Amino acid sequence: MSAQQIHNRFIENGWTLSLAESCTGGGIASSLVAIPDCSIYFVGGVVAYSNRIKEKILGVKPSTLKTVVSEQTALEMAAGVREKFESDFALATTGVTGSKGEVCFAIVAHDREPLTWTTHYEGERGAIIEQAITDALVDIFVLSRYNLPL
């Protein structure tokens, strides 16, 4: 799946999207804003690399941040950015991108059950980050295909 497919799908349905990225460092947002007119659906995002920003800007609980990598952190990041940016959908990524990467993802949507999952990667840091960005774009697109009423 591609950023272009997400672009088309979100515009077609009148949905909005916000992002909270940690380990992907704004790479997902970069993929989306490379396409003209992305502002029709992409309302913005936060690169929250430090725990202080996750807590202060996104509202992640300090107790949640005690675990180095967790789906709960991703969930609270996604919920926080969706609320702050008033978007229909929000996606968050958090994790570690060392030689054995572990990335947690969360998608929240208005009036729907949130989805969280963890993916493990192997390889060099840059390759892990790129794979996590690609996986996030696929997951946003797959979720949008269900035509969830918002």
pLDDT tens-digit series, residues 87-109: 999 999 999 988 789 999 999 98
H-run or E-run covering 89:
strand 89-96
pLDDT of res. 145: 58
Cα-Cα-Cα-Cα dihedral sign, residues 126, 143, 1, 46: negative
Would you kindly state where each structural domain of the chain is located, as residue ranges? 3-144
Q: Is the pLDDT of residue 68 over 50?
A: yes
For residue 45, give the nearest of 87, 10, 9 by alpha carbon: 87
Q: Are 142 and 105 in contact (CB under 8 A)?
A: no
> What does the radius of gyration of the chain's CA atoms come to, in whole angstroms?
14
Task: Fold for 3-144, please state it.
Answer: Maf protein (3.90.950)
Enter the pTM of the model.
0.93
Q: Is the predicted pLDDT of residue 63 greater than 80, yes or no?
A: yes
What tens digit of pLDDT does each residue of 9-22 get? 999 999 999 999 99
